[in-house]
Amino acid sequence: MSTLDRIKNVAAELLKTDSSRIQESSRFVEDLGADSMQSIELVAAFEEEFDIEMDEDAALGVKTVGDAVGFIDKVLAQG
């Protein structure tokens, strides 16, 4: 499964929405309705899903699903 699909699944489960509603351009706050708490939970959920540790402030700066894909792929590439 691609990073995008895994991110969509995680976000859909946490934000209690259908993953088909989530696009690469979807903004977590404005389009998917994530509040500040859910934003932090999303970071934690991505960390668990990908078994990575994300830099807190940089991760919270991620606005869209596409940004998240780029961010996580970069972390994964860094090993």
Partner 1 sequence: MNPVSYLALTPEAIKILKANGCWSRSWPKVKVTKGFDPTRIAGTIFRGEVRIGSLDGEFVPRDGIRRYAGIFDANLHNVTIGNNCHISNINGWLSNLIIEDNVLMENVGSIVCQGETSFGNGHAIEVLNEGGGRELKITEMTSAQTAYLSTMYRHDAALIKALDQIAENYAVSVRSDRATIGEGAKLFHCQNIVNVNIGQGAILRGIQNLKEGTIASSHEAPTFVGDGVIAKDFIIQKGAYVSDGALLSATLIGEASKIGKQFSAENSVMFCNSEGFHSEVCSIFGGPYTVTHHRSTLLIAGMFSFFNAGSGTNQSNHMYKLGPLHQGILERGSKTGSSSYLLWPARVGAFSAIMGKHYANFDSSDFPFSYINEDDGQSTLVPGMNFFTVGTMRDGLKWPTRDRRNNSDKLDQLIFEVLSPYTGQKMMRGQALLLDLYAGAEKGQEYVSHQGILIKRLLLKTCSRYYRMALEKYLGDALVARLTANPPKELKALTTPLDGAEDGDSSWLDISGLLCTQPRLNNLLDKIKTGDVTTLHTLQIELQKIHDSYALDEWSWVLQAIPQVYDFESITSDNLKTVLEKWKVSSNKLLNMVEMDASKEFEGNVRTGFGIDGHQDEDFDTVRGKFEANSFKKQLDEMRQAVQSNYDRSLNILKNI
Chain residues in the site for partner 1 (CB under 8 A): 29-30, 36-37, 40-41, 43-45, 47-48, 53, 55-57, 60-61
Q: Which is nearer to partner 1, 20 or 53 (by Cβ)?
A: 53
Active site (annotated) includes residue 31: no
Structure tokens at 74: 């970069």
Three-class SS of residue 71? helix
Q: Which is nearer to partner 1, 20 or 36 (by Cβ)?
A: 36
Three-class SS of residue 42? helix
**Residue 48 CB, nearest distance to partner 1 (Å)?**
7
Please choose, from the candidates 33, 78, 72, 42, the residue with its C-alpha nearest in 3D space to the C-alpha of residue 60: 42
List residues with catalytic annotation. Answer: 35
